[in-house]
Structure 1
Amino acid sequence: MIVAATPADYADRPLYAPIAPMLRRFPDGLPDLATLQRLLEASAPQAVSGGGRPVRFVPPDDALPAYEARIHASGEVPTRAGDWHDFFNALAWCVWPLAKSACNALHVRELAAREAAGLPGRGSRRDALTQFDECGIVVVTTDAEIPALLAAHAWEAVFWQRRAALRETTRFLVFGHGSWDQLRQPFFGLCAKAIHRVVDPAWLRLPAAERQTETDAWLAAQLAATLPTLTPRAFSPLPLLGIPGVTPDSEQADYYRDTRQFRPRRA
């Protein structure tokens, strides 16, 4: 797959759908921080850190507190100018403001709890939050069999045998800014951490922007509710290159029989 030169070049690729309207704003290259800030204020004026501070994109400063603590206390999100990874993180704040804020609040809550208990290190809950922040995806479907098949690693059954139904019933909403960055030049075995959600068919009839806003609120609540049992293994692995339309290689059944990429579930 050809690496595109500007954000606008990615707008029509399937897994960039949540941020596609924003990508089209930048046909000439990555924007500066001031432009990203204006975009946030226009698209998600309610965006606040986990500590309730208005989100602002600022240059990194290694002398200031750790990443999550700094965001929580000040609303300042360290953002490198001209950096694709940080550009996508800024766009994630634009379209997932409630879930991003919830992640930040949960990070700091868990950090404080571990310090109070005298526990060293980050712990599995913070590791899970970081993994989802980087490479999370929400699979929203009206077909209750889809999550079961995905969880069972029945890749050929879900991606090939039910391909037409999958397109009609299911939406793959990328949350992780790291995944958007990796999808610029996707590599063999590229995987995301998935949360599955079954919805009423009426959800699919909502405009895309309303579906995104509704899912953002749902995800924020879901992360908070599941924190006590959250570990990296709580998420289901999802081979992104298996999703129909992501790569032309997937237009044949044999593609899904390569167990190096589409691994069977461990016993």
Structure 2
Amino acid sequence: MSNKLKRLLSRNKQHTPEKKWPQEFHIDENEKALLTTLTGEPLQLVRIHYDLLDKDAMEQTFSKLKCMAFDADRQRWVWHYDEEARKLKFQTPIKNLPKHVGSIVLGSFYLPTKDHLYLDVNSFDRAIEAIAFFDKHLSRTTASLSHIQIVNKFFTAIPDFVPSHDDFFAHFALEKPANTSSLDAIAADTTLSQHEKLERFQQEMDEHLKEPMKEIESFLIHCYEDGFEGLKGGLKMRHIIAFQHWQGNTDFSFFDIFQKTIPKT
């Protein structure tokens, strides 16, 4: 083989695009295929709920956004990966998406009642980006974040199979806050020293963190008061656990994450 041909082959090899997964999501070619979105994230279903305070203002806002379009057949507002939304970053950069796929739908808004609006998206990354994006473009006096429903599960890619939001969320109610009575009882126990209370608190928290993660969760969103980082971190941890479960490590829990990330003292 000539040196010139070797240089050409070497150059082509260097420029071959590779899909780079985060280290914790590295998938070997011999393993089962993971179902992903067109923008490259593992597919996980999310439904973001809003209290709709002003329907007319919402429709006016959506009409002005070039990335939004009303689908009369399905009575939904479609959020496209275009125009104002083009700056959002996902696993696969927009410039690397194949031309033949056309306009990519990031999510769909539905109005089940006059005072209820929800957005369906297909990944945790899209959910995080959506909450921040529409908090910027949709006034809080028009629609206010209420709660979020999530599926803590990865799906294996099967021909002609796409999971449906309604299959998971249609009859799933908002969960009540976790019961903290055991922690309150420890705090109120006057027979325990401060050190003993801390040890008991740690034991209770460890047991709680070892509990199996629920496949479907629904909880209130407090981004207005607490910012977006708490929700982002919570979804990230669930994302990691779901991947471990999909890989067969079904005992992996929040406890394992904290053991790896929190320094031992």
Q: TM-score, normalised by structure 1?
A: 0.28
**Would you tell me which structure has more helix in proportion to its own residues?**
1
Please give the TM-score of this superposition, normalised by the length of structure 2.
0.28
> Which has the larger strand fraction?
2
